Amino acid sequence: MSSMETVPYYLFEDPGWRRFGPMTTLRPVWDIRLAGEKIHERISRQMDKIPAGFYPRETLQRIVRDEHGNDALKLPTRGEIFLVNARSWKAPPVEGIKKRHPWAVWTDGPDVVAARLPVSIAAKWLSQPVDDPDNFSVRKLLAIWSLEKNTPAVQVNDYGESLFYWPWELLKLQEEAIADSFTKQGLGEIAGEVHYRTTLVEEDNIVISAGANISPGVVLDASAGSIVIDENVRIMPNAVIIGPVYIGKDSVIKPGAKLFGPLSVGPVCKLGGEVEESIIQGYSNKQHEGFLGHALVGEWVNLGADTNNSDLKNNYSSISIVLDGENIDTGEQFFGGILGDHVKTGINTMLNTGTVIGVGSNIFGSDFPPKHIEPFSWGSAAGMKIYEFDRFIHTARTVMARRNIPLTPAMAALLRLVHADSTRSSG
């Protein structure tokens, strides 16, 4: 869309970020990756326009400023803007961005999906504490609007089933995300190097990007869904990949690996053993034998050899997890859990169904650790203590340097803040 025909739009983060546990401790919701896109990239594609800026919670402002620049956190001083909730999955109401569209709010239950409104009202609404769900409700936005003098009536439009609410919903959305990546990246284009003894099932449903290398004995079976192998991926001999699956740039799939979709693997990962219906953000390793299923995994995670997680209870009942201090019944029969950024597990670690591990934790031992593990925990089923921050940050810098990624001052400060919060809560 031409900028002359539209008003600027901004992504905002509402209190729903808290429901995603360690997936959103160090990143805004819009930076969660599914297949070949982060959420904000998906929204930009749907809007056919990149956002003019972002409105994250206060603790992430330095992180967002580092990535998008100082102006990304500034609203205009006057005029109108279009706000889009960062938890949007269904395409936002694009008509709301057009110059002559009336003021309006689009809703999904009590939550705001999008809003076309004056900057003055937006600034008041977005300046509220982001921890209280009521502050970012439709009701509160309309209450603020009603206090403005000489404002015309605002349209309220139901736009249900637009937002994702729980982390396990992301596992169900990734099949659509993989199909979108398949469409974007070539619709069956084979540009990489494929050994003649590779087996491609439903080849027209497979993308192999430039620089990728597929070794002999590999089976890529896209009969149940698309397979997208991004640039410079190496798939070693005898690996079996059953779609829908997306493998991110510069990743390595080890010999004999068994990958079952829907599965999204971010950039620069190493995978081996058995992995099923999971989302891995990027820069993470599970390269040895062991099972990972129905799990959400952050960045800079390393799972030791023979680490296994359970994703199904023996009695086939619904799985419960702890999020933001509250025990939640997921209603799901299959859910492995959530592993935050910089989590490490020792060899032969066992994780129970619905285990949630906070960022920076180091878990080991031969018995099941607790199902809920606070950030920066160090230990096993026998007991946990707080991981010393200086030791953690030294390891984090070392790990990231191996991938030529610097640990920025903003991220180091955020990690220190999370560590301090964990230290206070444990004491």
| Final residue of a structural domain among 165, 184, 218 | 165
Last residue of a domain, one of 165, 184, 204: 165
Residues 7 and 129 in one domain: yes
Residues 132 and 35 in one domain: yes
Q: How far is CA 46 from the centre of its chain?
A: 18
CATH number at residue 390: 2.160.10.10
Counted domains in the chain: 2
Number of H helices and E strands in the chain, helices first, is: 7, 38
Residues 149 and 188 in one domain: no
Across the strands, what pairs with 296? 279, 338
- Same-domain check for residues 138 and 251: no
User: Based on the domain organization, do 205 and 337 belong to the same domain?
Assistant: yes
Q: Does one domain contain both 279 and 384?
A: yes
| Residues 206 and 333 occupy one common structural domain | yes
Q: State whether residue 260 is helix, strand or coil.
A: strand
Q: Is the peptide bond before 8 cis (omega within 30 degrees of 0)?
A: no
Per DSSP, the three-state class of 27 is coil
Q: Specify whether 95 is located in the same domain as 201.
A: no
The pLDDT tens digits along the chain (427 residues) read 544 589 999 999 999 999 999 999 999 999 999 999 999 999 999 999 999 999 999 999 999 999 999 899 999 999 999 999 999 999 999 999 998 899 999 999 999 999 999 999 999 999 988 778 888 899 999 998 888 766 667 899 999 999 999 999 999 999 999 999 999 887 779 999 999 999 999 999 999 999 999 999 999 999 999 999 999 999 999 999 999 999 999 999 999 999 999 999 999 999 999 999 999 999 999 999 999 999 999 999 999 999 999 999 999 999 999 998 899 999 999 999 999 999 999 999 999 999 999 999 999 998 999 999 999 999 999 999 999 999 999 999 999 999 999 999 999 999 999 999 988 876 6
Answer yes or no: do 91 and 224 share one domain: no
Which segments of 175-278 are extended strands (E)?
193-194, 199-201, 206-208, 213-214, 219-221, 227-229, 234-235, 240-242, 245-247, 252-253, 258-260, 263-265, 270-271, 274-276
Domain finish residue from 124, 144, 165: 165
Rama region for 174: left / alpha / beta (φ>0; ψ in -120 to 50; rest): alpha
Domain, as residue range, for 14 = 3-165
Residues 234 and 372 in one domain: yes
Q: For residue 156, what are its two tokens?
A: 């309220």
What's the Rg (C-alpha) of the chain? 22
Residues 238 and 249 in one domain: yes
Strands 213-214 vs 234-235: parallel, antiparallel or unpaired: parallel
Q: Write down the pTM of the prediction.
A: 0.95
CATH number for the domain spanning 25: value is: 3.90.550.10
Residues 317 and 409 in one domain: yes
